[in-house]
A and B are shown apart, each in its own frame.
Chain A
């Protein structure tokens, strides 16, 4: 049973207004330590804005955000030291090698790291000397996630981490994310992929037009829907086409 003491993130009445557009309309939720918490919703729902406010990258209009006892208003630098951030489509110095980039981030976080171990944890050890621009999409995402782990953070924020990846890469990234959670790190993830939310998240908040319209474990959400008499229109098979593709082409890393 999750107690109040386990809350590592508290968001209270968060509002973000841009001129006339209110992107986030007063949402509140808690994230418990060690869980994978998802913000699920279509593009424009306000998930990324919420995430960026938690990451101290964006100012809020009103409300409170507390991470590990620290307020984003009063202690943003301290928060930055204990979180890992993976941005949607962020770049790095493209001509630098992965080793050089890891050195850079180790310096930025003021930590010493074992670069080989870090790369190994995201299965990029053999790409250590490769330049960032030479990596494939899946490899770039994996490297991005590697940079979030450098400072051994308490919380890792992932913004749509599997967008644009092929099925193999997605599945493998899911495994990686679960491994990170298993080491005790809390993960907050935004996604518009429903299957991703279902597979990964311990609890998920469904976000629509700046508001949370549901917050629960995926299982409960589904049970609630079925108990209201919902019936799927098409026959649900034991497998789907993605399963077919994966069983034919293999589950291991493609690249």
Chain B
């Protein structure tokens, strides 16, 4: 039986449901198969195209790259500066992605050996400038356990796609941290293939940049796979952070759990979450849930939240979504302050607490500390009452 659950909706909420979760989209690695978007297309309607510096149009690649990495025993990272054969499964779904794939200047290949259980995360730092096109491949061997953290810095207008293949029975956490300079633009299509009985946890952390727009997609290579897509978005004045998640359930006994949270402050801060879930008729006995929560620290920002769920079968364990957008809870602040805690500290506790479950699920202490610092800075920029 299918059950649809939706939590109560609060102020400044934009929810559109019932839209086809998967319109027939063009898929191709040839940029010319896609028209130049003008902004009214469904998939571009929230994106400030004028701030993309032509990434979606025809700006030529001119990237300067500084890539550093470390990997513990059982894994390796290789960086290529040609468009050599990488045995790719990537197929782009928009013009910017196709341009990035066709014109990739760097390809970062992360390999995790079968049955390896990594003691440390694999860390990759990408610092780039100019118009930069890149590609990341992550392949985790069967029954391996690993975490990969890719950390973006610099001022580039970058388009970097990611393809992740999670081996059968493997556990993989893939984290992208976007903490670029304030002028930076980043577009990325992140396609993940989850093996039989494998577990994938994908996390997008958006702190910096002018525009960050990610398209995380999950497909299942076999039955029994599970996937989490997690998001931590902190948008300040003028920043645009957008995530369009897509879960494509085609195999039985799989689960998906999407949880994106955003904190916004200041004039022009804008976050977008569009969560598409498509359950094909072959995807019986699946469990899917989507959650989006947005916390507005003042009257300046705007949060758009659009869950779309399309079911071709009723033979599912659960299929639901919840979306809540609101301001800091006055009752929570009063409660904390009535215990002697200052308003400033009460706000810190509540906002850090807002992200705590997601950050805890990602499970990397240095990352948790970075998010905490970003929260601190955001609050310092937000006047108290």
Question: Are these two chains actual partners, yes or no?
Answer: no
Residues of chain B touching chain A, judged by Cβ–Cβ distance below 8 Å, are none
Contacts from A to B (Cβ < 8 Å): none
